[in-house]
Amino acid sequence: MEIDFAIARQRMVDNQIRTTDVTAHELLDSLLSVPREAFVPEDMVPLAYIDTNIKLGASGRSMLEPSPLAKLLQAAEVTSTDNVLEVGTGTGYVSAVLSSMADQVTALEVDPELAEEAKANLAEGYNNVSVVTGALAQGHKANGPFDVIFINGAIEIEPASLFDQLADGGRLIAVLGHGLAAQAFVFQKENNAVSSRKLFNSAIPALPGFERVEEFVF
């Protein structure tokens, strides 16, 4: 049976996203306009709108489940004048969603194969998105400073290496921790000082490059 993806997208927004207190109109409109099915592996296309994380081939990475992703994006409070960095773009879905909400989007990816997929997926219709390759924890200073930095996966440590790339008044969205104990935070920079605010518990897949360094005590 052929899938009507427009209906599937509407159901995703109505049943998975609006029901978790995501109400930002610009975000909801963007989620309705971006074809999620175009950003998943070919064998996963029929499952593009299910309420779970989707594995991105053999990379070990995942596209985040719609509900927690939307809650994190809403917390970023992206505006039409913002310069945004997405850390860990995967196949480019989040940058596609951000593209209609922000002025400029830099999609950073460490995996060369995923970066090439993202470039292909974003080649048409997303002219304000630049896909770059590099270590995720190093960000992309050349395109900064950024009004918003969105880390697309859970990390073990505070992303202190990225704070220098935040503009004054900028927000960084990150999930710290593992599994059900992980918590979402918004970090905000004001007058070169960074403060943090806890948002909600959020169990999402881990992103490489932010692992805690083991310390040995003698």
Confidence of residue 181 (pLDDT cuts 50, 70, 90): confident
Per-residue pLDDT of 64-123, as tens digits, reads: 999 999 999 999 999 999 999 999 999 999 999 999 999 999 999 999 999 999 999 999
Distance of CA 35 to the CA centre of its chain: 16
What digits encode the pLDDT tens for the residues 133-162?
999 999 999 999 999 999 999 999 899 999
In whole angstroms, how far apart are CA 59 and each of 18, 38, 112?
Answer: 30, 17, 10
Q: Shortest CA distance to 157 belongs to which of 189, 135, 132, 185?
A: 185
Three-state SS for 86? strand
* 8-state DSSP, 64: P
Position 214 scores a pLDDT of 63
- pLDDT of 217 reads 53
DSSP type of residue 77 = T
Stated pTM of the model: 0.94
What confidence score (pLDDT) does residue 216 get?
Answer: 52
Helical residues (DSSP H) of the chain, grouped into ranges: 5-11, 25-33, 66-76, 93-99, 112-121, 160-163
118 and 91 Cβ atoms separated by less than 8 Å: yes
Considering the chain, what is the average pLDDT of its residues? 94
pLDDT value for 178: 81
Distance from the first to the final alpha carbon of the chain: 64
CA–centroid distance for 193 within its chain: 24
Identify the pLDDT of residue 180.
Answer: 75
Q: What domains, with CATH codes, occur in the chain? A: 5-201 (3.40.50.150)
**Helix%, strand%, coil% for the chain, nearest 5:** 35, 25, 35
- Tokens encoding 216: 């040995």
Most confident of 25-39, 166-180, 195-209: 25-39
150 touches 72 (CB < 8 A): yes
